[in-house]
Amino acid sequence: MKEKHALTDQELAESLFIINRHAKTAPEPKELYDLKKHTIAKLLKESRARKLGLHFSDHPKLSQQHSTLLIQIGNYYFHIPAQKKDFQELRHLGKLDKDYRNPKPRLSLSRAKKNLYRYLDRKPAPSKNKSFQKSSYTSSYLGSMNFRPWNQRGKRS
């Protein structure tokens, strides 16, 4: 049996980056954002992530400015919704620096999800995608097997 190694902060950060990137364009991002939220909460609890400060959000809610919490994990930075206590404990960093980008990891979405579920010691939610289920439909053409291929037919008279 393969021995499981503990995931490093960098591996978790790369997985979070992939999850976050896909969540932004996913038709149903709830599972991915929940995975991000629970992973960051656990990393903060274990002191493997750092709260750096607050940023003004690029996407104001209901036309009102609000702030997001900037988190550092390894060489990666993430934003999550700020809580009231964060405003009292952390300084405000102002506007988001649009010139900074996280490094681009080479990791698939499925591998990223496996990493984070393993770290959280949870099982993935069952897939709702029904397009891969096997169909029980049988073609009526296949039902009548009393024909021969075109190159094995007898000669016409």
Please count the structural domains in the chain: 1
Q: Which residue range is the domain that position 70 belongs to?
A: 9-120
* Residue carrying the six token digits 């990137």: 21
Q: Is 98 inside a domain boundary?
A: yes
Residue 36 belongs to some domain of the structure: yes
* 49 found inside a domain: yes
Residue 51: inside a domain, yes or no? yes
pTM: 0.71
Query: 15-74: per-residue pLDDT in tens?
Result: 999 999 999 899 989 999 999 999 999 999 999 999 998 888 776 666 566 788 989 999
pLDDT digits (tens, 9 = 90+) for 113-122: 999 999 998 8
- Residue 154: inside a domain: no
Backbone angles phi, psi at 6, to 5 degrees: -70, 135
Q: Which residue has the tokens 């991915």?
A: 32
For 71, the enclosing helix (H) or strand (E) is strand 67-73
Q: Please report, as a single letter, which amino acid is at residue 10.
A: Q
Which tokens sit at 8? 């490093």
Q: What is the pLDDT of residues 145-155, one digit of tens each?
A: 666 666 666 66
Is residue 134 in some structural domain?
no
